[in-house]
């Protein structure tokens, strides 16, 4: 795991625990608060999915570039 992935995982885990705690602590009378917490968590989850997707795209691009560079170097060295 890279440092970015570890940080993102920690943030998501903390957000999940915080959302669950907030839902458990609030009374059943306070539906508006529960709705706000649920919406916030869903928004956080959606933005995290976008960040993970972006990170995956960057990793794929870097791997493709590295593979091409290796092929180019091999072609230069190959007799």
Q: How far apart are CA 18 and CA 78, in angstroms?
A: 57
Q: Are 26 and 35 in contact (CB under 8 A)?
A: no
Contacts of 72 (CB under 8 A, 6+ apart): none
Distance from C-alpha of 62 to C-alpha of 43, rounded to nearest angstrom: 29
Record the pTM: 0.46
pLDDT, averaged in runs of 10, over the chain (79 residues): 77 81 69 77 81 84 90 84
CA distance readout (Å), 60 to 6, 30, 45, 63, 67: 18, 45, 22, 5, 10
């Amino acid at each position: 795991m890279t440092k970015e992935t570890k940080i993102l995982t920690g943030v998501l885990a903390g957000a999940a625990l915080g959302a669950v705690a907030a839902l458990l602590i609030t009374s059943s009378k306070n539906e508006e608060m529960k709705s706000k917490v649920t919406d916030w968590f869903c928004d956080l989850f959606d933005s995290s999915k976008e960040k993970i997707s972006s990170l995956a795209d960057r990793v794929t691009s870097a791997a493709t570039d590295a593979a091409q560079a290796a092929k180019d170097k091999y072609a230069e060295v190959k007799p």
